[in-house]
Chain A
Amino acid sequence: MNLVRLRNFAAHKPVRVALFFLVFGFLVSFPFWASRYWVDVGFYVGLYALLGLGLNVILGEVGLFNLGHAAFWAIGAYTTAILNVRFGLPTLALLPISALVAAGCAWLVSSPIIHLRGDYLCIVTIALGEIVRLVLINNPGGLTGGPNGVVGIARPAFLGHVIRTPMDFYFLVWAVVAVCALALRQLQRSRIGRAWNYIREDEIAAESMGVDVRALKLLAFVLGAALAGLAGNIFAAKMRMVSPDSFTFMESCLMFCIVLLGGMGSVPGTIVGAALVVLFPEVFRPVAQYRLLFFGLALAATMYFRPGGLWPRRRAVEFLVERPGR
């Protein structure tokens, strides 16, 4: 298969529009013909796509190595759990609140470390992820329920319709993914998105060209964490319980893989990456013991054959195709 030719073909506007409707139609119709099991899998693809999109802002757009993204996911989930179970706030209304709390925490913890570069930041974020998980286990103030977590989260309700079936959750998560993907596309095509990429490409040159590196890195961190907070709310609502086991270092690694596999700074790439990371264990269930081995091999192979990811962002064509009037 000639990938270059395939991508050149896919760069034409009618092809892109057709492709968009094909994917859109597939995603909308999927729960109506797939089994409940696969609808559930589809939900997790959407959930990890949301987490991946959040990390993609931090890692993909700005190039900040964040290996503790699960911490913000956990903060979002626990915010929903605690405020719902202990204070009775409706679960769906907590969706934006969870995002805000996760974003606020991200701002607090990333402010002092944001100037660290590359691997140093990476190590600190790993520690951050572990600290959050251990704090949750230690049950501060009796709020987080220790290792057992918080149980009995109410089902979210939207205009009187209770979201309970796999199909309901599937549509909830994909609606949020769609809104976030659209928002990130807008940002990519703005001076904010460009400035993020300038920092990733060359931090010294970026600041010399007038980019407030610190402010934009913080913005990326906060926004990425907000998306993880959204994912946390939906996850808590779906599971109806949260426990520290869900937010391990392994989860942060998976999100990292999603962004690397899909293509740094690519919105559709991240969604493809999420699909792969979620579907892979499902497809390889028969050889369950070797799943991680296969997973590692697949990752290594991708990095070898397509170092830019499976669906990297294509800059030149984007300008040629999307510029109206010329």
Chain B
Amino acid sequence: MRDEAILETRGITKRFRGLVAVDRFDIAVRERTIHSLIGPNGAGKTTVFNVITGIYRPEEGKVLFAGQVLNGLKPHEILALGIARTFQNPRLFRNMTCLENVMAGQHAHGRAGFWASLLRLPHQRREERAIRERAEEWLRKLNLWYFRHELARNIPYGCQKLLELARALAAQPKVLLLDEPTCGLNEAEKEAMMGFIEGLPKEGLTVLLVEHNMNVVMGLSDWITVMNYGKKIAEGTPEEVYNNPVVIEAYLGRGEERAP
């Protein structure tokens, strides 16, 4: 149906003891699109992220990135290939400055080893300068410049979410996995975050988005995959999904009951 997928899972299954968190799940994310993964709480969305990024190993199935099988690779190797992520609750390096946090994104692209760092060889100094300058660029782009020397744990929650995004973007990924980027943000921050995510495909990025906020999902997505109890129950364009009775029953119906 959709062939130019850059990121694909084929029949992945992840079990925790008896619980099947993800059950023969397929998803195909097309290049330069915003693809949303939605579903009720506990549907297995974050587990899919953890399988793709190599934090969990699936019992069955394959994860493919640009034709390459990712199974068995470690998280840092997967990042180096071009898949970066953010976390539902920001997992920042809390006792380090915002600048240092964003510099983390470029760790995988750095070359300087132990001896070069120890002796501060010329190429290491050049690389350090480049890493810092690129990190500073991202801080400016996401309006975090003011906080650059502040410890990550001291900045407001909304900025922490942005900082995590900056850190992931600094890794220069091809695919960006965002786990509830607008969760816990106020309206203004939500707008800013959405505006930013919307512009990413134009810069060549592919976004896989987990999100609970329907306005965000319907407004941003090119394609939506719905999952429940670890299985894919529907997929399609926002309109198709919005009018799909299976989805309404599984997700939107319940969502309306506990209005935000």
A contact set with B: CB distance below 8 Å: 183, 186-187, 189-195, 197-198, 201-202, 204-213, 219, 315-317, 319-320
Q: Does B213 contact A (CB under 8 A)?
A: no
**Least Cβ distance of A134 to chain B in Å?**
33
* CB-based nearest A residue for B98: A316
Contact of A319 with B97 in the complex, beta carbons under 8 Å: yes
Contact of B105 with A209 in the complex, beta carbons under 8 Å: yes
B contact set with A: CB distance below 8 Å: 53, 55, 74-76, 79-80, 84-85, 87, 91-97, 99-100, 103-105, 107-110, 112-114, 117-120, 124, 127-128, 131, 149-151, 167-168, 171
Take A190-B128, A315-B95, A316-B149 as given contacts and tell me if A208 and B117 are in contact as well, using a CB distance cutoff of 8 Å.
no
Partner of A209, one of B96, B107, B113, B119: B107
Contact of B107 with A315 in the complex, beta carbons under 8 Å: no
In the assembled complex, the Cα of A258 lies from the Cα of B104 at a distance in Å of 29
Residues of B within 8 A of A201 (CB): 92-96
Partner of B107, one of A189, A191, A219: A191
Take A190-B117, A202-B91, A315-B151 as given contacts and tell me if A213 and B97 are in contact as well, using a CB distance cutoff of 8 Å.
no
Contact of B99 with A191 in the complex, beta carbons under 8 Å: no
Take A201-B96, A209-B104 as given contacts and tell me if A190 and B112 are in contact as well, using a CB distance cutoff of 8 Å.
yes
Contact of B117 with A211 in the complex, beta carbons under 8 Å: no
* CB-based nearest A residue for B120: A186
Residues of B within 8 A of A192 (CB): 112-114, 117
Residues of A within 8 A of B85 (CB): 208
In the assembled complex, the Cα of A14 lies from the Cα of B119 at a distance in Å of 25
Smallest CB-CB A-B distances: 4 pairs: A210-B108, A190-B117, A201-B93, A205-B91
Take A191-B128, A315-B100, A320-B149 as given contacts and tell me if A198 and B93 are in contact as well, using a CB distance cutoff of 8 Å.
yes
A-B CB contact pairs (8 Å), 17 listed: A190-B124, A192-B114, A192-B117, A193-B117, A194-B96, A195-B104, A207-B76, A208-B53, A208-B76, A209-B79, A209-B84, A209-B168, A210-B104, A210-B171, A211-B76, A315-B96, A315-B100
In the assembled complex, the Cα of A187 lies from the Cα of B119 at a distance in Å of 9
Total cross-chain contacts (CB, 8 A): 116
Contact of A194 with B103 in the complex, beta carbons under 8 Å: yes
Residues of A within 8 A of B124 (CB): 190
Residues of A within 8 A of B127 (CB): 191
Partner of A186, one of B107, B119, B131: B119
**Least Cβ distance of A123 to chain B in Å?**
25
Residues of A within 8 A of B105 (CB): 209-210
**Least Cβ distance of A227 to chain B in Å?**
13
Contact of B96 with A210 in the complex, beta carbons under 8 Å: no
Contact of A207 with B75 in the complex, beta carbons under 8 Å: yes
